[in-house]
Amino acid sequence: MASNSSGGGSSDRQGIAQQRLRIIAGHLRGPVDGDSTILAAECKAQGSNTDVSSEGKTVPRRRQEIMKWNGWGYSDSRFLFNKKGQAEFTGKRYRLSGMIIPGLKDWFEGTFGANLQHKTPPTPLLTNTAVPPATLNEAFVEEVKSTGIPFSHDAEDRVFRAHGHCLHEIFALREGKIGRVPDMVVWPSCHNDVVKIVQLACKHNVCLMPYGGGTSVSSALECPPEETRSIVSLDTSQMNRILWIDEKNLTAHVEAGIVGQDLERLLNESGYCTGHEPDSMEFSSLGGWVATRASGMKKNIYGNIEDLVVHIKMVTPQGVIEKSCQGPRMSTGPDIHHFIMGSEGTLGVVTEVTMKIRPMPEYQKYGSVVFPNFEQGVACLREVAKQRCAPASIRLMDNEQFKFGHALKPQVSSIFTSFLDGLKKFYITKFKGFDPNHLCVATLLFEGNREKVLQHEKQVYDIAAKFGGLAAGEDNGQRGYMLTFVIAYLRDLGMDYYVIGESFETSVPWDRVLDICRNVKARIIRECKDKGVQFPPLSTCRVTQTYDAGACVYFYFAFNYRGLSDPVHVYEQVEHAAREEILANGGSLSHHHGVGKLRKEWMRDTISNVGMGMLKSVKDYVDPNNIFGNRNLL
Amino acid sequence: MGTIVLFTPLKLFDPMLKKRDDFEDILEERRTSSDLRYALRCYTPVLYKGVTPCKTSVLKSMVLQSDQLHYVINQVSKESGRAADDVREEASAILEEMAHSLQLSTVRFFAFMLSKVFKTLFRSICVNEEGIQRLQQAIQEHPVVLLPSHRSYMDFLLMSYILYTYDVALPVIAAGMDFMGMKFVGEMLRMSGAFFIRRSFGGDKLYWSVFSEYVKTMLKNGYAPVEFFLEGTRSRTSKSLTPKLGLLNIVMDPFLKGEVFDVNVVPVSISYERILEESLYARELLGVPKPKESTSGLFKARKVLSEDYGSIHVYFGQPVSVRSLAEGRVNRCQFNLVPRHIPRRPSEEIQSFVNDSAYRLVRAQEENMVLKPWVLLASLLLQNHHQNRAAGQKPGMALDELTTQAVWLRDVSRQYGAFLHWPDHTSPSEVVSSGLSLHRALVRVCEGRVQLAVEQEEELLSQAVVVLSCASYRNQMLHVFVRPALLASAIHIASSNQKRKTDVFNSFSFLRNMFSSEFILCPGATVQDFEEACYLLVKTGVLQVTQQEVLVTERGHRTLAFLTSMLDPFLQGYQVVCRFLCEEDTETLTEKQFIPAVRKFIVNHLLAGRLRYAEVLSSDLQKNALAALQRLGAVRKIKGYLVKIQHFLTQL
């Protein structure tokens, strides 16, 4: 896409909108041939053709066919430094694919003190001998076999479902170290399959761990090492159909295993969308969103998952839980959905969800604003939230992240664009007097009908101007959002060169935003120094969501671990300290990643003793034998 | 207290392990180069994270527009029924009265004048440069609070003078309102960075709010280091005073509430070889009221300019991170549920944290106080004075005897960790005579004998002036010996030869509790202090401590005797106060009337020879004793009257 299209006419804009849709849906494995993948069918008789309905879907049963076993995302997409030392991104799936990123090497070496000569390549192949043998519950296996539900105890299948994407999990995989893994994987293809599996698990006292997209960053998928029963990973990925669309009520009934990109693509074909776009939407599943209380980047228009669901069906050891109607709001005691949302797989398996849908937006427009400093930027976001005029998405990156984003600019094709870039830079830093070491940038995404978008855009830019903000073009904005999808790939590149890192998030009241950002970043730097990290770490943050009463803040933290004997341990200590700092500064334990096992230790302080008791008693009633034994949350 | 378990690593107590920086005399350069050029030189200090200094008017409007003040103004307006604008006017007036207006030109004027004055008054002003470098570093990284000890009016001018000399950011200094009385000088001080606070403003919410917001605004933004005196006022006795917590609470608040990443607190120890206010203080303690600060009074004080006041040592201590002090002590989440700008009384957790921190900081000041040989001489001469008087012997002691004893005490005090400045390359007799000559107002040498400059036939009060002045020098070394001295006295009390450790501990604990307003003894650290004292006395071969028993070694008696007589005047003093309360009719005694009454009682005892320590006349000691008796429950204050709890008193 041409970067200078911002001044173009409506056809250009149309093009941009379509381009954007293509990005969202842009990770197809093959062309969609228009045939109706939207089925109103009931779960078909079990047998050999359970795969039929997943045609054109992203996630195969054998994930290893398209995905990395020891890193993020698709096997064909990765960053690397080529022979000339230039960074490039391989594959064809993303906008950045096949492009050279000239600035990355200097930024990488400069920021981390890393060196392309010092490599830490991963173990190339998964050796089956490294995988502990499966402890099978023979009776259970026999009965599953008789139901015809596909299952496997292949080592690769099991390893794939034994982890999420926490740093320590990926680091161990790269070293070829494998801990406790599920003993067996089952692939139910509909709600009834799940009912059967759960019944059998209860009957034979087998531990079930639901698995959706595998994008957890809370150690939620780690098998408890103390678990002695056979652990069965219940992979929902084949329950991925849209069962019906109700255009009168604007709802869709969807199987919970569907991943975000498929859901969006399939709805788009009918002219609808959910608008729920978490950063992990390529791989994360609807059931996972419900189980962790997910949040999407466009929640300002569409809402977070709790605002989007109308009806949830979950299979528990006590039976199926669901509401009897689809009324848009009910006063019937505490909302049982709120026991389900955020239960993190400890109570049962979410199988089907009725969700709100919206007609696809007519028009989309990116934007960006440069602020002289982070303080001004936050003040602007606060004002936007106060006036309740936040665009679909508004995010504010700090200076370090701005520089990072800059380093990821792909090679420009024409001298003209590079000239324009130079001019813009001159204007901002010299003419407007912004300090390049303090300025920060907000990226924006507007959605709706064209007139309203343009009106909205003006309103937001007017507010920004009051805080010293300068509009900085659509291209910068779009690149910002594109980075969301590739940043996880970048971590793998870092890990090839002694650099490890991770992001974590929190939510915090407005008056605390600046304080928490400063203190947590400083704490990270201090802790790294204390723990013997030899190089200054990258410690940066951004404000990614705005609410009436606060904001969601993301921290990114990475460092060069050369000279450390146990880098992961150091990493974990620093992250732990950073979380303590977050809590001490009035931040929450998590905005949307969830608690898992990683943040369990802080749960009691977070929700009080009585709160813990409430949740425990629900667990005790619903799952007295701890069949859903992933030991998350409590 | 059944068994006493040693839980602190003993190494922590070992004073010999303390490392201290070297000093550099900053007057040396002043004596050789132009003061004018020095006053006009380029002064470009680095501030916190490179912020630019902020104009007084901007600072004031930041304070007036702050959320906290806004809230309190509305609250006061609602409660009092006054218009909010009216209250705001008042706040603005308070701020006007309070705020500093630091001007470089005034600083330069002071730099010039003080150079002249210092050169006449002092032989040298010695500063540890490494400390300055640490401070410089700290200022760039964090908001900084400077906490100098307070022994003289000189202190804060001296601080600013030193910082100007080293190109370090000039502090803003909390000063008592009494300075404002001196019209011209008050304004000059204001322009050199002082801001003025009322001595007491108990319930005045608005005043407190303006004041705390003003301090926090300067601190948080790093516009200038904030300087105040933890002891609240000048110590008239040279002992450190019980720390005041108000300002410390304020400067810790931004960290505790997460408004800054950290605050660094730098204790500064200023030791004067001879204090300018020496006899002034003694008179004040004896009840001759201090003259009100006035400009003309200052000019009358000119005659001090003609005297020799020796040298000053200024030691900038290790910056203390409030964050690390609070680590594991304070749960900062307690501020999560109420907006931070709404003023709240600090929780008990915070109060005890601030209190403990204050004690630690005062101890850090004490540790780096430089002791001159004269301090040892003053202690020895005082002890000798009282012993001779009791024994009815000829006053004074032979010069060479004094020298021998001083050398002994030098070695002992070094073992106990004193920061002693004893010139190593000079013979002991020279050291002694140079010390004596600087303080010739207090001692007399005749016929090879040294004695305090006290004539038997003189009036009791003039005798007491000399004794109290000497005591103030002895007091400078009290912090080194106070714990071992308490232990020594505890052993002394345990009458029998068999000294059971638990008995000794109980006496120690009692004495420590009684003297906790007299000396700097961290609250709640009884066991630690006991261990520390045991460790020191065992290490120096004075004691042997077994599981059950405490044994005094053969050679330990001398040290033990020295230590007990060091504490004896205080013990006697407290006893006399006790006796006064027992014997006299105190039914109608208010707290105000207490001091004159007890003074009269003590004078009678002294004249009758029933008491030998004239220093008991010190009103400081009397007040502390009363506070101790209140704390121990022997006296209660009801509606301003002192009510004694008879059976308690008699027990004591």
Which positions of A make up the binding site for FAD?
Answer: 210-216, 292-295, 344-350
Q: Residue A197 and residue A149: Cα distance in Å, rounded?
A: 9
Residues 326-355 of chain B with CB under 8 A from chain A are 331-333, 335-336, 339-340
Average pLDDT, chain A: 89
Mean pLDDT value across residues A217-222: 96
**With contacts defined as CB-CB under 8 Å, which chain A residues touch B335?**
586
pLDDT at B78 (0 to 100): 95
Does the structure show a pLDDT above 90 at A425?
Answer: no
Packing angle of the helix pair B619-631, B501-514 (nearest 10 deg):
120
Residue A583 has its nearest CB partner, among B261, B333, B339, at B333
Contact status, residue A198 vs residue A317, Cβ threshold 8 Å: yes
Q: Provide the residue type at A222 as one letter.
A: E
Instruction: Find all residues with CB under 8 Å of B571, minimum gap 6, and list them.
Output: B489
Q: What is the CA radius of gyration of chain B?
A: 26
pLDDT band at A48 (very low <50, low <70, confident <90, very high): very low
pLDDT at B516 (0 to 100): 93
Residue A584 has its nearest CB partner, among B258, B339, B340, at B258
pLDDT tens, position by position, B466-522: 999 999 999 999 999 999 999 999 998 876 666 788 889 999 999 999 999 999 998
pLDDT tens, position by position, A281-303: 999 999 999 999 999 999 999 99
pLDDT at B14 (0 to 100): 61
Which positions of A make up the binding site?
Answer: 210-216, 292-295, 344-350, 491
Reported for B342-348, long-range contacts at CB under 8 A and 24+ positions apart, including other chains, are B342/B68, B342/B71, B343/B68, B343/B71, B343/B72, B343/B205, B343/B208, B343/B209, B343/B212, B346/B249
Contact status, residue B307 vs residue B640, Cβ threshold 8 Å: no
pLDDT at A206 (0 to 100): 97
Structure token digits, residue A505: 């998030």
Does the structure show a pLDDT above 70 at A56?
Answer: no
In three-state secondary structure terms, B362 is helix
CA-based nearest residue in chain B for residue A524: B261
Question: Closest Cα to residue A339, out of A587, A633, A629?
Answer: A633
Contact status, residue B231 vs residue B279, Cβ threshold 8 Å: no
pLDDT band at A492 (very low <50, low <70, confident <90, very high): very high
**With contacts defined as CB-CB under 8 Å, which chain B residues touch A519?**
258, 261
Packing angle of the helix pair B399-415, B373-391 (nearest 10 deg):
120
Any CB–CB contact under 8 A between A438 and chain B? no
**With contacts defined as CB-CB under 8 Å, which chain B residues touch A583?**
333
Contact status, residue A414 vs residue A343, Cβ threshold 8 Å: no
ipTM of the complex: 0.88
Q: Cα distance from A585 to chain B (closest Cα, Å)?
A: 6
pLDDT at B462 (0 to 100): 85
Does the structure show a pLDDT above 50 at A279?
Answer: yes
CA-based nearest residue in chain A for residue B261: A519
With 0-12 CB in 10 A as exposed, 13-18 as middle and 19+ as buried, what is A208?
buried
Which DSSP state fits A238? Answer: G
Question: Closest Cα to residue B141, out of B322, B398, B10, B281?
Answer: B322
pLDDT tens, position by position, B563-603: 999 999 999 999 999 888 888 776 777 878 889 999 999 99
Does the structure show a pLDDT above 90 at A21?
Answer: no
Q: What are phi and psi of A341, to 5 degrees?
A: -70, 125
Q: Cα distance from B223 to chain A (closest Cα, Å)?
A: 18
Among A55-64, A317-326, B168-177, the range with the most confident prediction by mean pLDDT is A317-326
Contact status, residue A238 vs residue A188, Cβ threshold 8 Å: yes
pLDDT at A166 (0 to 100): 96
**3-state percent breakdown (helix, strand, coil) of chain A, nearest 5:** 40, 20, 40
Among A488-492, A549-553, B633-637, the range with the most confident prediction by mean pLDDT is A549-553
pLDDT at B3 (0 to 100): 40
Residue B339 has its nearest CB partner, among A511, A522, A583, at A511
pLDDT at B590 (0 to 100): 80
pLDDT at B396 (0 to 100): 85
Q: How many CB atoms lie within 10 A of CB B233?
A: 12
Any CB–CB contact under 8 A between B70 and chain A? no
In three-state secondary structure terms, A424 is helix
Mean pLDDT value across residues A204-218: 97
CA A78 to each of CA A89, A98, A99, A403, A569: distance values in angstroms, whole numbers, following the listed order = 6, 10, 11, 21, 26
Q: Residue A129 and residue A123: Cα distance in Å, rounded?
A: 14
Q: Cα distance from A584 to chain B (closest Cα, Å)?
A: 5
**With contacts defined as CB-CB under 8 Å, which chain A residues touch B339?**
511
Q: What are phi and psi of A226, to 5 degrees?
A: -80, -5
Does the structure show a pLDDT above 70 at A3?
Answer: no
Q: Strands, DSSP E only, in A458-612?
A: 470-471, 499-509, 538-546, 550-560
Contact status, residue B484 vs residue B533, Cβ threshold 8 Å: yes
Any CB–CB contact under 8 A between A605 and chain B? yes
pLDDT at A410 (0 to 100): 86
Instruction: Find all residues with CB under 8 Å of A252, minimum gap 6, and list them.
Output: A242, A244, A245, A246, A267, A272, A274, A354, A355, A357
A572-600 b/e with 16+ CB inside 10 Å = b?
A: bebbebbbbbbbbbbbbbbbbbbbbbbbb
Q: Do B259 and A511 touch (CB under 8 A)?
A: no
Structure token digits, residue A459: 């309103």
Q: Residue A15 and residue A22: Cα distance in Å, rounded?
A: 10
Q: Which residues of A are catalytic?
A: 554
Does the structure show a pLDDT above 80 at A632?
Answer: yes
pLDDT at B4 (0 to 100): 42
Q: What are phi and psi of A179, to 5 degrees?
A: -95, -145
Residues 499-538 of chain A with CB under 8 A from chain B are 511-512, 515-516, 518-519, 522-523
Alpha carbon A440 to chain centroid distance? 24
Q: What are phi and psi of A227, to 5 degrees?
A: -75, 120
Packing angle of the helix pair B104-121, B154-165 (nearest 10 deg):
110
Query: Which segments in chain B show pLDDT lower than 70?
Result: 1-18, 179-181, 289-305, 495-498, 586, 640, 645-652
**With contacts defined as CB-CB under 8 Å, which chain B residues touch A512?**
258
Q: Do B335 and A512 touch (CB under 8 A)?
A: no
Residue A519 has its nearest CB partner, among B258, B331, B340, at B258
Structure token digits, residue A431: 């003419």
Q: Strands, DSSP E only, in B521-598?
A: 543-545, 550-552
pLDDT at B278 (0 to 100): 85
Contact status, residue A290 vs residue A317, Cβ threshold 8 Å: no
- Taking the alpha carbons at both ends of chain A, their separation in whole angstroms is 48
Contact status, residue A252 vs residue A355, Cβ threshold 8 Å: yes
pLDDT tens, position by position, A428-471: 777 777 888 899 999 999 999 999 999 999 999 999 999 999 99
Q: Cα distance from A583 to chain B (closest Cα, Å)?
A: 7
pLDDT at B7 (0 to 100): 42
pLDDT at A47 (0 to 100): 39
Q: Cα distance from B466 to chain A (closest Cα, Å)?
A: 54
Q: Do A522 and B339 touch (CB under 8 A)?
A: no
Alpha carbon B282 to chain centroid distance? 16
In three-state secondary structure terms, A579 is helix
Mean pLDDT value across residues A468-488: 87
Q: Residue A267 and residue A359: Cα distance in Å, rounded?
A: 9
Best to test chain A binding among B68, B216, B333 (most A CBs inside 10 Å): B333
Does the structure show a pLDDT above 50 at A538?
Answer: yes
pLDDT at A52 (0 to 100): 33
Q: Provide the residue type at A128 as one letter.
A: N
Q: What are phi and psi of A303, to 5 degrees?
A: 95, 165
- Between A and B, how many residue pairs show a Cβ–Cβ distance under 8 A? 24
Alpha carbon B151 to chain centroid distance? 7
Structure token digits, residue A366: 């990116």
Q: Provide the residue type at A23 as one letter.
A: I
Q: Dmax over Cα atoms in chain A, in whole Å?
A: 76
Q: Residue B359 and residue B248: Cα distance in Å, rounded?
A: 11
